[in-house]
Amino acid sequence: MTPRSPIVGAVELGGTKIIAAVGSGPGAGILARERFTTGDDPAQVLAQVTSWMQDASHRVGQVMAIGIASFGPLDLDPSSPTHGFITTTPKRGWAGTDLLAPFRHAFPSLPIALETDVNGAAIGECRWGAAQGLEDFIYVTVGTGIGGGAIVCGKPVHGLVHPEMGHIPMPRAEGDRFAGACAIHGRCWEGLCAGPAITARAGRPAEDLAADDPTWEAVTQSMGHALATMTLMLSPRRIIIGGSVRKAGQLGEAAFFDRCRLHLKAALAGYVDSPALRDEGLRSFVVPPMLGDDAGLCGAIALAQDS
Amino acid sequence: MTPRSPIVGAVELGGTKIIAAVGSGPGAGILARERFTTGDDPAQVLAQVTSWMQDASHRVGQVMAIGIASFGPLDLDPSSPTHGFITTTPKRGWAGTDLLAPFRHAFPSLPIALETDVNGAAIGECRWGAAQGLEDFIYVTVGTGIGGGAIVCGKPVHGLVHPEMGHIPMPRAEGDRFAGACAIHGRCWEGLCAGPAITARAGRPAEDLAADDPTWEAVTQSMGHALATMTLMLSPRRIIIGGSVRKAGQLGEAAFFDRCRLHLKAALAGYVDSPALRDEGLRSFVVPPMLGDDAGLCGAIALAQDS
């Protein structure tokens, strides 16, 4: 263990499950991990998480800090009276939950860092994965929902709240009558490309779709529009697409990424010129995560180590 | 003159005109200014600009640095062999122009800072205008074209190239058959809301349109979509809309902004919750520039002073 990789506690909170870990990095660096069901009683499950972490800290190595990457929306403004709270989530029981208090109570002397799940995943990919050496990039997850975390000049973007990229308005392809599946916006990006949207359009889930199902063309075309919007708005050096949809059933991950890249190129139509946006460059401009499903958890480790 | 407001040279390069100035700030802080026609011979006009600036520097006060805010796309990567060049512009004569060399030649010992026109305007509004005290905001110009400059954590966003927000894909309102006016993308934001798009849709220019012309509803609805995309992508604390379209002919600037704010609110549909995005907050979330047409020039002064 070097001074640069202390053992820390890490928590990734998702809408379905919470993963807690004690460790110093990805892979073998994770010394202990546990899975909890998120449920609708935050006080109860957070007490289980902190209790497990106190125990794991005794068993495998004393933690020096805690990092938390969570679903939101979150209040990340350090000057706010509700700093560290989940704010307006539709997730039952979780609106108004103070995520920091249970950890402060269980680990009173330790620094505790909090980020959004996607900013966390971006930080993890930057430290150990597909964005090493980059200061300007985006991590998006396309799964049950869509979210994006942006790193600009090496720091996660917060601003007024934090980005909520999954809900951007989207163009409609000529002749497409699909109404979209977002309960709030209909045809926003999440309403067109998240798992439930694919199921609603195709009549069955993404993992059951044939490689030549026309739904893949509609979905990857919309992905191209969203990738173009990200490129034009934030000028990232790379966009990492995580989440389950990229696995793309019988189409497969490689073909899904190729089609997304082609549709991104078509949407930009040569307007932004950079080697990164030409054919070969595109293969390293739009990429899958290297840490897979552990990106967020590893990001929480990195957050804790930096705190 | 305090040490914080030295006299500097400033240049704003636009597609039609170039404004050069010597001064230390907006208004009375501009000690001399001159207008040049951009034309299609960069070497000639840049020689005129540098010559005027040498002369003005002798007349009104020795300049300590030079700031340039220019149309682009620009190469802003300090490690690039073409750093400081205009790259792929369709503007005749200007592709591949080295903007820094003529100033380095004329002012060999001075620091020279370069930014995009919209990042420059953002920096000007931050120092002396509508974004004072803010570290995260966006300046967009909606005029002959559309461009946006983003400030994140107090610094202009560059990334891979720099943002080109005017060309984001846009949703189509139900029943709208307008094909859009962007030569490259058709119905991108610029193709729906820039001056030429309004003229193409309405059959006459924006300044001649009646207040109840239905074109204003289409334009401000699309502005709402673009403002929502910016809010969801970058989470700014404020969006400043400059450029000529905001003056909105017989509709007027105040009504144009009110309609843009309403359409932004409708597009977000309550998904992002912040006081800044509720009714009263929206009035200071989407605002006109305070420096008017001098935002870019003042930004060039600020850039020079910081260099």
Give CA–CA dist A38/A71, Å, rounded: 11
Percent of chain B with pLDDT strictly greater than 70? 99
Comparing C-alpha atoms, which of A90, A83, A86 is closest to residue A112?
A: A83
Rg over alpha carbons for chain A, rounded to the nearest Å, is: 19
Comparing C-alpha atoms, which of A98, A135, A168 is closest to residue B235?
A: A168
Give CA–CA dist A297/A20, Å, rounded: 8
- The pLDDT of residue B182 is 95
Q: Which residues of B are less than 8 Å from A160 in CB distance?
A: 136, 231, 235-237, 272, 274, 276-277
Give CA–CA dist B301/B296, Å, rounded: 9
- The pLDDT of residue B4 is 58
A134 part of contact set with chain B, CB < 8 Å: no
Cis bond leading into A90, ω under 30°? no
Check if the beta carbon of residue B219 is closer than 8 Å to that of residue B243.
Answer: no
CA distance, residue A107 to nearest chain B CA (Å)? 30
Burial class, B79, CB count within 10 angstroms (exposed 0-12 / middle 13-18 / buried 19+): exposed
- Chain B residue nearest residue A229, CA to CA: B168
**Residue whose token pair is 């509700």:** A82
Q: How many Cα atoms occupy the beta-carbon half-sphere of B133 within 13 Å?
A: 1
CA distance, residue A48 to nearest chain B CA (Å)? 30
Which structural domains are found in chain B, ordered by start?
8-121+294-306 (3.30.420.40), 133-288 (3.30.420.40)
Which run of H or of E encompasses B18? strand B17-23
> Reading across the β-sheet that carries A112-116, which strands appear in turn?
A30-37, A17-23, A8-13, A66-70, A112-116
Q: Which residues of A are less than 8 Å from B276 in CB distance?
A: 160
Burial A259-290, CB ≥16 within 10 A → b, else e:
bbbebbbebbeebbebebbeeeebeebbbbbb
- The pLDDT of residue A72 is 87
User: Mean of the pLDDT values across residues A63-89?
Assistant: 93
CA distance, residue A221 to nearest chain B CA (Å)? 12
Contacts of B8 (CB under 8 A, 6+ apart): B22, B23, B24, B63, B64, B65, B66, B67, B301, B304, B305
Percent of chain B with pLDDT strictly greater than 90? 91
Give CA–CA dist B222/B229, Å, rounded: 11
- Chain A residue nearest residue B273, CA to CA: A88
B231 part of contact set with chain A, CB < 8 Å: yes
CA distance, residue B28 to nearest chain A CA (Å)? 33
User: Mean of the pLDDT values across residues B86-96?
Assistant: 90
Q: Which residues of B are less than 8 Å from A228 in CB distance?
A: 168-169
Q: Which residues of B are less than 8 Å from A161 in CB distance?
A: 235, 272-274
Give CA–CA dist A46/A52, Å, rounded: 10
Phi, psi of A255, deg, nearest 5: -70, -35
Task: Identify the weakest region by mean pLDDT among A1-15, A21-35, A64-78, A133-147.
Answer: A1-15
Q: Which residues of B are less than 8 Å from A85 in CB distance?
A: none
Contacts of A274 (CB under 8 A, 6+ apart): A281, B160, B161
* B150 has pLDDT over 50: yes
DSSP state of B244: S
* Residue A243 φ/ψ region, left for φ over 0, alpha for ψ in the -120 to 50 degree band, beta for the rest: left
Q: Where are the alpha helices (DSSP H) in chain B?
A: 42-60, 100-106, 117-128, 189-193, 195-202, 214-234, 253-268, 279-285, 295-306
- The pLDDT of residue B90 is 79
Tokens describing residue B50: 């540098």
* A164 has pLDDT over 80: yes
Comparing C-alpha atoms, which of A209, A259, A233, A98 is closest to residue B146?
A: A233
- The pLDDT of residue B40 is 96
A87 part of contact set with chain B, CB < 8 Å: yes
Determine the residue type at B298: C
- The pLDDT of residue B279 is 85
Check if the beta carbon of residue A21 is closer than 8 Å to that of residue A33.
Answer: yes
* B174 has pLDDT over 80: no
Give CA–CA dist B143/B97, Å, rounded: 24
Q: Which residues of A are less than 8 Å from B161 in CB distance?
A: 235, 272-274
**Residue whose token pair is 């400081």:** B84
* A5 has pLDDT over 90: no
Q: A279 pLDDT band (50/70/90 cuts)?
A: confident
Q: B139 pLDDT band (50/70/90 cuts)?
A: very high
Q: A1 pLDDT band (50/70/90 cuts)?
A: very low
**Residue whose token pair is 């927000």:** B165
- The pLDDT of residue B1 is 40
Tokens describing residue B219: 């334009």
DSSP state of B243: S
Contact assignment for B234 to A150 by CB distance below 8 Å:
yes
Give the Å distances, CA to CA, from B88 to A162, B40, B78, B97, B204.
Answer: 33, 15, 18, 10, 30
At B252-304, the pLDDT tens digits run: 999 999 999 999 999 999 988 899 999 899 999 999 999 999 999 999 999 99
Q: How many Cα atoms occupy the beta-carbon half-sphere of A148 within 13 Å?
A: 33
Phi, psi of B306, deg, nearest 5: -85, -10
- Chain B residue nearest residue A176, CA to CA: B172
Task: Identify the weakest region by mean pLDDT among B2-6, B152-156, B161-165.
Answer: B2-6
Comparing C-alpha atoms, which of B12, B57, B58, B64 is closest to residue B35?
A: B12
Q: Which residues of B are less than 8 Å from A90 in CB distance?
A: none
* Coil, strand or helix at A104: helix
B87 part of contact set with chain A, CB < 8 Å: yes
Contacts of A183 (CB under 8 A, 6+ apart): none
Q: What number of C-beta contacts closer than 8 Å exist between A and B? A: 150
A95 part of contact set with chain B, CB < 8 Å: no
Classify strands B146-152 and B137-142 as parallel, antiparallel or unpaired.
antiparallel
- The pLDDT of residue A131 is 98
pLDDT, averaged across chain B = 95
Comparing C-alpha atoms, which of A75, A186, A245 is closest to residue B267?
A: A186
B267 part of contact set with chain A, CB < 8 Å: yes
Check if the beta carbon of residue B170 is closer than 8 Å to that of residue A225.
Answer: no
- The pLDDT of residue A4 is 58
Partner residue facing B161 (CB), from A88, A148, A274: A274
Give CA–CA dist B237/B276, Å, rounded: 8
Classify strands A286-287 and A8-13 as parallel, antiparallel or unpaired.
unpaired
B230 part of contact set with chain A, CB < 8 Å: yes
At B242-255, the pLDDT tens digits run: 999 999 989 999 99
Residues 145-164 of A with CB under 8 A from B: 148, 150, 152-153, 155, 157-164
A89 part of contact set with chain B, CB < 8 Å: no
Tokens describing residue B74: 């620009």
At A89-134, the pLDDT tens digits run: 878 999 999 999 999 999 999 999 999 999 999 999 999 999 999 9
The interface pTM score, or ipTM, of the predicted complex is 0.95
B54 part of contact set with chain A, CB < 8 Å: no
- The pLDDT of residue A3 is 47
- The pLDDT of residue A2 is 46
